[in-house]
Each structure stands twice: as structure tokens, then as C-alpha cells.
Structure 1
């Protein structure tokens, strides 16, 4: 029972994952871009702070 339940769960997960992959990739790219911007801004602020 447990085995078949797990197998079914894995299959469901794989199907959902494959459907979500494109969405996740887009989201991940957006997050990465946002993080890069955040990091750049923080770095700029830090540099400005060091100059003062």
C-alpha cells in the first residue's frame, strides 16, 4: 500500500514538476535578476558609505 502510494505520489510530482518547470524557470530568472539588482544597489550603497 505504502509503496504504490509513494509511486503514485512520485508520478504526480513529476507531472506537476514538468508542467511547472517553464513557470519556475521564468520565476527563477526573474528572482535572479532581482537579486542581482539588489546586490548591485547594496554594493553601491556600501561603496557610498565607505567614501563618507
Structure 2
């Protein structure tokens, strides 16, 4: 039982860090997708429908 008491705080902090980093990366991914949609919409309105792919996703 003493091993659990020693390891539990580290595991909890590790899990909290993992969830926080997952949220940050998901927010960044969503922001990049929204930016790409907005750029594509702006290009379509400006008449640049065949814009070359930059390779970013």
C-alpha cells in the first residue's frame, strides 16, 4: 500500500499534464483548420479558386 501512496501523486500530476497538453494540441488543430477555411473562403471570394497547395494541414 505504501507504493501506491508514493506513486499516486506523480501519476495524478502526469495525467493532469497529459490532459492539459491534449487540450492545447486540439485547440491548435482546430485553430489551424478554422484559419484554413477562412483563407479558402477569402481566396474563393477574391477569385483565386485554384490556389496551389502549400503542403500544410
Fold-level similarity (TM above 0.5): yes
User: Alpha carbon RMSD of aligned pairs, Å?
Assistant: 1.4
TM-score scaled to structure 1, two decimals? 0.62
How many residues are paired up? 39
**Residue ranges of structure 2 left out of the alignment (5+ in a row):** 40-57
Which segments of structure 1 move beyond 3 Å, counting only runs of 4 or more?
Answer: 14-18
- Larger % of helix: which? 1
Which one scores higher on RCO, CA 8 angstroms, separation ≥ 6? 2
**Residue ranges of structure 1 left out of the alignment (5+ in a row):** 1-13
